[in-house]
Chains A and B, each alone.
Chain A
Amino acid sequence: MSLFLSAVTVTRGHGQTRTPVLRGFTATFAPGEVTALVGPSGSGKSTLLAVAGALLSPDSGAVELDGADITRLSDGERTRLRRERIGYMFQTGNLLSALTATEQLLAATYVAGEGTRRHRPRAVTALEEVGLGDRLRHRPDQLSGGERQRVALARALFLSPRLLLVDEPTAAVDRSQADAIAALISDRTRAHDCVTVVATHDPAVIASADTVIDLDAEP
C-alpha cells in the first residue's frame, strides 16, 4: 500500500506559456508517513500533487497508487478515484460557504453518492479529533483561517482515503495555528495509516515530516 512515481515528466501550458516542470521525477511514498515536498516557488510542488492526485496527466512516466497505474484512466475514472481513494487539502478555498463545519464533512459523503444523515455522528467525532468539537455549527465565514484548515483536514480524511495530498496548508494561517496544523497532519496520518504528501515551505511542517524531498535538488 503505497504511492510510487517513476520517471514522471510534466510540461505545463501551451505555446508561449509552455513550461517544463518535472523531468523524470521518481520517488516512493510509504503509508503512515508524511513526506514534505519542498523547493522554491515555481519548482513544481503543486504540479506534483496534481499528478499524484489524478488531476493532471503527466507527459510520460507512471503513477502507481496501491500497485495500479492511474495515468491511463479516463476522465470519469479519475473523478471516481479522487472521490474514493484520495483526500485533498488546499492552501485556501477548501470549504463550501453554505455549509456548517459538520456539513463540510458530510459533503464528502454526498459527493460519494451516499446518504449524509447516518454519517453525522462520525463527522462530529472527526471534528472533535481536530479540536473543533465546539465549532460544529459554524460556517466558513464564522471560522478563523486555522479552524478552516482543520475542517479541511477532517474533510479530506473523512472517507479514509489511501492518499492525502496537502498543498501549502499553513501559508494562510498564523504561526501558532501553523504549528497545530503541522502536528495534526502528522497525527492524523498515523491514525489513518495513509500516504501523506505535503507541499510546503513551512519549517514546522518540514520538521514534523518523516521524509523531505527537495524538488530544487532533483536532477
Chain B
Amino acid sequence: MFLALREIRAARGRFLLMGLVVMLVAALVGIVSGFTTGLGNDTVSALRALPATHVAFATGARSDQFNRSLVDETTVTGWRQRPGVEAAPLGVTITRGTTDRGLEIDMAAFGVEPGTFPAPPVRRGTGLDAARPGLVVSGKLAADGVRVGDTVTVDRLGLKLPVTGVTDDLSYGHVPAAYLPLDTWRDIRFGVPGARTAADRLPRDASGVVLRVKAGADLTAADRALGTSTLPMSKVLEAAPGYKGERVTMSSIQVFLYLIAPLLVGAFFAVWTVQRAPELALLRAIGASRRRLLSYTVMQAAVVVVAGTVAGGALALATGLLLGAAVPFSLPAGTLLATLAAVALVGLAGTCLTLRRVTTPDPLTMLGAAR
C-alpha cells in the first residue's frame, strides 16, 4: 500500500473524479435494481403469494392468461380428482369501486373459494366466509385509507361488499389486490349492469386452476384429459400483464451499465498507466518485479472501485428512502449487496484489461535518456 495510496493522494483530483463516476454507475445500477424488484412486486406480488406450484389455464389462452383464460367447473373438479394434486379455482379481474366514505379505489379482484388454499392470510379483521359476501383487501388499500367495516361499492354494477379483513401488501398488474368469494367475483366478471342476471344463470367459470403438485404427478396427462395448459409459477408470473416487458427493459438497462462500468474504469487505468510509464520504467530498473507493479496497480483500482461502489450503494439506498412508499421501489440488503459486488467485480475486470501495459515499460529507457 506504500506507493498505491501515496500515488492516489498525489493524484487525488483524478481519482476522486473516477470514484465519483464509479459511484454514479453503482448508484444507477442500485436504483434500477430497486425499480426492477419494486415494479416486479407491484406486478406479481399477489401471484407470488399464492401457496401454489402451478396454475392450469384454458388451452386457448396463450398469453396474458389471467385476462383471457376461462375454465369451467368440470375442469376444476377434474383437476381436484387427479392424484397428487391439490386444486382450487381462482378468478382474476381488475375493477374499481368506491367506499362508503367516498374513497375511489382500483383493485385486482381475486375470486377464491373461502377455505381453499389460495384464500389469503388475514393480518387484521376476519377472512372470507362462503356464507356471505365480503372483501379482504391488500395492505396497500388499507394504507390508502380503506378500513375494515367500510363498504366498497363496485362501480358499474352497484354491488356492495363489506371489507372484512386486510391481508399483506399484495398487488397484481400495479393494482392492489382485493380478495372476494368466487361467486361474487363471477358477478363482477360476468355481470351486465342493469340486467339483473340471476346468479345461477352466470357462467360457473374461473380464470384458472391453482395447483399444489406433489412430485410424480403427471401434469401432461391431466392437461390432455382436461383441456388445460399448466404453467409452473415462474411462467405464471409472465402471464401477468406487463411483467415480461418491465423485466426486459430493466435488465437491458442493467446489462448496459455492467458493460459501461468496466470500460470506464479500464479507460481511466489505461490513461493512468500511460502517464506513469516513465516511473514504472524507473521502478523496474531499480528492481521492482512485474508482480509488485501489478499488485500495487490492482490495489489502486480496488481502492477507487470499492470506495465508489460503497458510496454508490449508499446513494441508491438514500434515493429509495427519498422516493418513499408512493413509488414501486424495493431494494433489500441482499439484492443491493449482490448488485454492488457485481459492479465492483466488473470494474476490477476493466482494470485487468489494461494491466498488461503496467509491466511493459522498459527499464533500459532510463539509461542515456534526458527527460
Contact = CB atoms under 8 A, between A and B. Distances in A.
A50 B364 contact: yes
B68 interface: no
Contact of B369 (A93, A106, A112): A93
Contacts of B282: 90, 93-94, 96
Contact of B367 (A84, A90, A96): A90
Interface residue range, chain A: 35 or more
A49 interface: yes
Given A91-B369, A96-B282, A111-B288, A55 B10 contact: no
Contacts of B369: 90-93
Interface stretch (A24-32, A58-66, A97-105): A97-105
Given A88-B286, A108-B286, A167 B368 contact: yes
Contacts of B10: 97-98, 139
Q: Which of B7, B290, B368 has the most CB of A within 10 A?
A: B368
Interface in A135-167: 139, 155, 167
Interface stretch (A75-83, A177-185, A205-213): A75-83
Contact of A79 (B7, B11, B287): B287
B288 A83 contact: yes
A46 B365 CA distance: 10
A96 B279 contact: yes
B286 A103 contact: no
B278 A76 contact: no
Interface in B218-236: none
Interface string B350-368: 0000000000000110111
A55 B2 contact: no
A116 B287 contact: no
A76 B285 contact: no
A21 B370 CA distance: 20
A113 interface: yes
A97 B370 CA distance: 16
B3 A92 contact: no
A107 interface: yes
Interface in B1-47: 2-3, 6-7, 9-11
B289 interface: yes
Nearest to A46: B368
B370 A171 contact: yes
Interface string A110-132: 11110010000000000000000
Contact of B370 (A83, A92, A110, A116): A92
B273 to A, nearest CB: 15
A172 interface: yes
Contact of B2 (A46, A86, A97, A116): A116
Shortest 5 CB-CB contacts between residues of A and residues of B: A83-B287, A46-B368, A98-B10, A82-B287, A46-B367
Given A91-B368, A111-B288, 11 more contacts: A47-B368, A79-B284, A82-B285, A90-B367, A91-B369, A92-B369, A93-B282, A98-B3, A106-B2, A112-B287, A116-B2
30 contacts: A46-B367, A46-B368, A49-B367, A50-B364, A50-B367, A55-B285, A55-B363, A55-B364, A82-B363, A83-B286, A83-B288, A86-B287, A88-B286, A91-B370, A92-B370, A93-B278, A93-B371, A96-B282, A97-B279, A98-B7, A103-B6, A107-B3, A110-B3, A111-B283, A111-B286, A111-B287, A116-B2, A139-B10, A168-B370, A171-B370
